[in-house]
Amino acid sequence: MNKINYYKKSLEEIEIIKKLDYKPSILLHSCCGPCSTFPLTFLNEYFNITIYYNNSNIYPESEFNRRLNELKEYINKEFKDIKLIVPKYDNESYNKFLGVFKEMPEGKERCFACYAKRMDEGFKYAAENNFDYYTTVMSISRQKNSQKLNVIGSTLEKKYNKVKYFYSDFKKKDGNLKSNQIAKENDMYRQDYCGCIYSYNSRNKKHKGDLYE
Ligand code: SF4
């Protein structure tokens, strides 16, 4: 299957936005501080951003809070006008949802379902609160499948038809490198596992640490 250049698509959309006589609103899903650095810098010029930190996938709760606090600190320092919304953390329900896919390796169906769940929650909130656009920072990560993320975005755009999906591949044109640099300059905490209990366990196996179970 031919890959679509979602980076190019994001630039085409920016050209449309530049012609508007107002700055559209966007609900931006953020999974953590380091992944949000470059997407925030890039999007802030063209959008009124509200961040949506819906990440009940993250295990344990202390880690959810640690990533959230790092993000808050960065926003307070660099983007004081940006609002941050944090829906209720519910890792128990999230684990029940992910449990169906537990035998699957990272980067496959379990992760695609995980992207889709959080993106659907965000899109729903964006539609209920009249946002013009929705997107996620996740395409900044080399571990995330940008083609899948954008296909999910396209499906959700049809489901919540008043909100546009901002297609993106933030990692392109050194986006990933820039994110790493900003995170380093700000001495940000960077996690060494993706988030869910399965990724937590694999990380611990590698480090021969304690396993949850
Ligand atoms: S590894 Fe990351 S993307 Fe995949 S299911 Fe776990 S938290 Fe979700």
For 133-168, write each residue's pLDDT tens digit.
Answer: 999 999 999 999 999 999 999 999 999 999 999 999
- Least confident residue range of 11-15, 16-20, 113-117, 202-206: 202-206
Q: Bridge partners of 49?
A: 26
Q: Is there an atom of ligand 1 within 6 Å of 149 CB?
A: no
Count other Cβ atoms within 10 Å, centred on residue 155.
14
Domains along the sequence of the chain with CATH: 6-207 (3.40.50.620)
> Ligand 1: which residue has its CA nearest to atom 6?
196
Q: Report the side by side order of strands in the sheet with 25-29.
A: 83-85, 48-52, 25-29, 133-136, 164-165
Average pLDDT over every residue of 53-76: 98
For a ligand 1 pocket test, name from 54, 94, 102, 110 the mutation site with the most ligand atoms within 8 angstroms of its C-beta.
110
Relative to the CA of 199, which ligand 1 atom is closest?
1
- Whether 63 and 191 have beta carbons less than 8 Å apart is answered as yes
Task: Could you list the beta-strand ranges (E) of the chain.
Answer: 25-29, 48-52, 83-85, 133-136, 164-165
Q: What is the pLDDT of residue 104?
A: 86
Q: Is there an atom of ligand 1 within 6 Å of 67 CB?
A: no
Q: Is there an atom of ligand 1 within 6 Å of 34 CB?
A: no
Question: What predicted TM-score, i.e. pTM, was given to this entire model?
Answer: 0.95
For a ligand 1 pocket test, name from 59, 114, 212 the mutation site with the most ligand atoms within 8 angstroms of its C-beta.
114
Q: What is the pLDDT of residue 1?
A: 67
Residues 6+ apart with CB under 8 A from 53: 29, 30, 31, 68, 71, 84, 85, 86, 87
Q: Is there an atom of ligand 1 within 6 Å of 195 CB?
A: yes
Q: What is the pLDDT of residue 94?
A: 98
Q: What is the pLDDT of residue 213?
A: 34
CA distances in angstroms from 197 to 3, 183, 205, listed in the order given = 31, 25, 12
Relative to the CA of 107, which ligand 1 atom is closest?
4
